[in-house]
Amino acid sequence: MIHKPFRNLFGNKSWELVFSTHDLIHYYKRVGALKNEGIEIKTKTLSCVGGKEGATGLACIYQVYVRRPVIHQAYETLEL
């Protein structure tokens, strides 16, 4: 028997990756578009590391997830 927390995690309400980017401006534009459409999102930030050989800045990958039932609406909103 699957316990309730795991059923919600792996059931048809699970999250799907819609896009990922390293450009922070691109990230905020797309997140704003999804939120304006009322689409619930979840985000993750991966690989935040400093510059190479003393260079400044951070290199991060931003990922945005939406719930599986609204993935087509999210793609239409983002025009992907």
Domain ranges of the chain: 14-78
**pLDDT score, position 74:** 96
Is 14-78 in CATH node 3.40.50.150? Answer: no
**Best CA proximity match to 40, nearest among 65, 12, 7, 61:** 65
**pLDDT score, position 11:** 54
CA 38 from centroid of its chain's CA atoms: 15
Q: Residue 49 class from Cβ within 10 Å (0-12 exposed, 13-18 middle, 19+ buried)? A: exposed
The encoded tokens of residue 33 equal 């578009």
Q: Residue 73 class from Cβ within 10 Å (0-12 exposed, 13-18 middle, 19+ buried)? A: middle
pLDDT tens digits, residue range 1-26?
455 555 555 555 699 999 999 898 99
**Sign of torsion, CA 18 20 21 27?**
positive
In whole numbers, what is the pLDDT of the chain averaged over residues? Answer: 82
pLDDT tens digits, residue range 32-43?
999 999 999 999
pLDDT above 80 for 48: no
**pLDDT score, position 41:** 96
